[in-house]
Each structure stands twice: as structure tokens, then as C-alpha cells.
Structure 1
Amino acid sequence: MFIQPWDAGLDEAEWQTWIAEGHDFGLLSVNGLSGQAPVAVPTHFTSETGHLLVHLARPNPVWTAIEHDPNVLFTVFGDYAFIPGPWRAKPDTPPTDGVPTSYYTAVQFTCRAHIVDDPEAKAELLRRQMAYFQPDGDHAPISAEQPPYGRMLPGIRGLRLEVTDVRAKFKYDDHKPVEHRTAVADHLTERGQGLDVPTALQQRRRRDRIGPWKP
């Protein structure tokens, strides 16, 4: 992932906060076997100190690839929007001379994958995930010894993704003048399609922290 200096995360807390705000779905990318394309799996995940937790169906073709090479990439992205050219035109130039772009946040985790096959270890992984996704506890006990989860555990495998590196990108034209960023955020809020509003919130948040860009 290419990151311009003005698109870089301002500190670790920035991307950690963004993930914690509910960005819990990403793309697991695994090197393919020799001569084959990489394997990519969209999935929910949860995190704990230094690790991402995932579980997938046992028939998933990703397992062979992970066993061949456990070095994987997990990408989370969101708060994205297409920015039309006229919104980015320089002052005193025709609006049609503006060059369009995309705004987005992306966090990429480089990881070493550890497969979890022990029934009790899988049950514990699921308990951790359910504590996040269903914190009210409105589900049956997750036990390797009793239904319904006990009989279903053989059908899945768990993954503990040991995070070795994190790269965060917040692409919101932060090198442009403050007035420009404010105007684009206003356009996004007015348009209000898709993820326009959360994209505008990210742009305003970064604008307020950075102010005028200083290389």
C-alpha cells in the first residue's frame, strides 16, 4: 500500500481508535501455491493484544495456502467516497480541470498465521469473538463438550494472526489548503450517499488535527 506523507497515520492511537469504532470486517490475503493466484477471504475479526482472531469453515481453500506460507496480510478499509473532479479544481480554474480521486481509510496488518485446531482452544476463540459481537450473552454456552457448538466445532478452524507490522493510511487530501478540505467535506455531507457522511467526518477530524499541511 503506497502512503504519501500527508496520508500517513498521525500516531498509533489514530488507527487503533478507528478500528475500535466498529471497523471489524476485513480481507485476509494469503500467498497462493506456486503458480496459483493469492487466496483472499472476506471475514469478520476481533482483536486482542498483538493478535487478530478469525475463524473460517474447514473446507475453505485458504488452509492449504496458509500451511504452505503462514505470512499473511489482513486489510481493513472504510469511510470511503469518490470525489468528483470539480470539487478539487484549483481556484480560478475551470471546474472541469479538477482531477477526481478517492478518499478512504485503510489499515493493513502484516501477520504470521497460527492455525487453531484443538477443540477447547477453538471454543475459547469463539467465546472471545462472541464477547465482542454479542456482548449481551444472548447465545448458548460455547463449549467443546455440549451442543450446539460442540458438534459444530469440527467444521471450523481458528486463526490467531500474530501482528508483526501495521500500516495505516488516511487519504483525505490533507496536503490541500484548509479551505479546500472544508469545502469538500461540506460537499460530501450535502451529497449524503453511501459513506459520504463518515468520510466527511474523517476529513474534518484530520483537518482539525493537522491544520495547514507542513511537509
Structure 2
Amino acid sequence: MYLPSHFRSDDLESALAEMRAHPLASLISVDETGLPFVSHLPLHVLPPHEGGALRLLGHCARANPHWKLLQAHPRALVSFLGPQAYQSPRIYPDLQRVPSWNYVAVQCTVQARLIEDADDKDRLLKCLIGDHEPAYAQQWRGLDAAFTQRMLAGIVGLELEVTAWQCKIKLNQHRPESHAAMRAGYEAGGESGQALAAWMDRLGMGRP
């Protein structure tokens, strides 16, 4: 992605935090026509362990042809979009300015491995359940075995090994004259704007 140096973050912990806070990612491959093929999937983030690679876990419906694309061409992109909000030109002390948009995004180059074993898929699902509704794990375990086997057969598990990543934090860092007004506007706005204001806090922006 386009990544000017003033918007680039090399802080892995910040990237991991955004990926976990906004787990619905766009998984992007190239299809046989040469066009991007995109699946929107919630992904579980496995942090690097003892020098190993960062990995992402997810699944798609067996009816979704994306897994066949990954089988043939395992290299793909994963894009996470974090908080995002409009930026008004009114934040500047002068009039010769234009509107813009601020956001946080993480992009990963991945190598995909398909997961077909039912027990492995069950473990993968428990990771996702643990992220979003841990109490559901008991209900899942209590379901009829024939039903759970049909559900597991209907999905293809995905393990995505991250081979490279980029984190973009676009918060007008290069325009300090705008920070105080931008921050005030975001703090008074909705959830996404408030999340951007929290990012400004982390970066030390907009405070006297």
C-alpha cells in the first residue's frame, strides 16, 4: 500500500492491537481472470512464538472458491482496516486547505495453508469463539456430533503465515498546526473518531 514515511509504524504491538480490535479482514487473491478476489473473514491472530512467524487463523465456506485459489496460489494479501473518520479542513488556522480522511490500517503478505482435518478445524473454531463469545464454546461442545461434523465439513480452515507486514497510521502527523482542533473534533464525535483520538494520545499529538 502507499505508505509515506510520516504515516509508517514499525511497532508490531500496535499492529497486533489493531488486528485484534478490528478482526474482520479482507483476504485478497488473484483469480484466473487476473482480477482480485476478496473474501471478508474474521481472523484470529497468533503472535510470534519463540522466533516463529506471526500467523492468522480463519475459515471460509467450502462453497467459496477462494480456498481453491489459495490451494493453487498460496501467496495472498490480508488487509485490516481499523478506526477511520473524515477530516474537515476547518481544523486548520487558514482557509487554503482541503478535506481528507484519517485511518489506521494493517496489511500483511501471507502464505496460506489449508486445514481440512476435522479436529484441527474444531481447534481453529475454538480460537475464534474465544475471541468473540467464549461462553458459546460450551454450547458448541454440547451439540449433536452429526450436526457438528456437517458444520465442520462445510468449511475449509485457513492458516495464514505472515511473511511481511505494514502498519499505516494516517493522522495528519505532518501538519501539527491541525492537531489540537482535529483532536477536539474526534473526541466529541462517534466511536471511530474517539478511537482515532486515542491513537493521537499514543503518538503524543494534540496535547499542550
TM-score, length basis structure 1: 0.84
User: 2:8 matched to which residue of 1?
Assistant: 8
- Please state how far the C-alpha of 1:10 moved relative to its aligned partner: 4.8
**How do residues 147-166 of structure 1 correspond to structure 2 at under 5 angstroms?**
147-166=146-165
Cα distance 1:63–1:17, how it changes in 2: closer, same or farther (>3 A)? closer
Question: Which runs of no fewer than 5 residues in structure 2 stay unpaired?
Answer: 48-53
Secondary structure in 2 matching 1:141: helix
> Would you say the 8 A contact 1:117–1:157 is kept in 2?
yes
Aligned equivalents of 2:173, 2:107: Cα separation in 1:
20
- Matched letter for residue 36 of structure 2: P
Q: How many residues align?
A: 200
Give a deviation string over 1:92-122, Cα, whole Å, max 9, x none.
x3x3x21211100000111000011122221
Once the two structures are overlaid, the 10-residue window that deviates more, 44-53 or 133-142, is: 133-142
Partner of 1:206: 203
User: Following the alignment from structure 1 to structure 2, what is the Cα–Cα distance between the partners of residues 112 and 142?
Assistant: 34
For 1:133 and 1:168, locate their aligned partners in 2 and report how far apart those are by CA, in whole Å.
24
- The structural deviation recorded for 1:125 is 1.4
Q: CA RMSD in A?
A: 2.3
Alignment correspondent of 2:50: none
After superposition, residues 104-183 of structure 1 pair within 5 angstroms as 104-136=103-135, 137-141=137-141, 146-177=145-176, 179-183=177-181
One-letter amino acid of the structure 1 residue matched with residue 184 of structure 2: D
The one-letter code matched in structure 2 to 1:181 is H
Q: Does 1:76 align with 2:80?
A: yes
1:128 is displaced (CA, Å) by 2.1
Q: Distance in 1 between matches of 2:22 and 2:142?
A: 25
Q: Which runs of 5+ in 1 are unaligned?
A: none
CA distance in 2, matches of 1:142, 1:155: 19
Say yes or no: does 1:64 pair with 2:61: no
Distance 1:123 1:138 in 2: 13
Could you tell me whether the CA contact under 8 Å between 1:29 and 1:74 is conserved in 2? yes
Q: Residue 18 of structure 2: SS of its match in structure 1? A: helix
Deviations 1:177-214 (A, max 9, x none): 2x521211102223x14622212222232235x99xxx
User: How far has the Cα of 1:42 moved from its partner?
Assistant: 0.8
User: Is the 2:186–2:196 contact (alpha carbons within 8 Å) kept by the matching residues of 1?
Assistant: yes
Deviations 1:118-142 (A, max 9, x none): 2222122112222222223342218
**One-letter amino acid of the structure 1 residue matched with residue 129 of structure 2:** M
What TM-score, normalized to structure 2?
A: 0.86
Deviation at 1:147, TM superposition (A): 4.0
| Whole-Å separation in 2 of the counterparts to 1:124 and 1:84 | 46
Q: CA deviation at 1:85?
A: 2.2
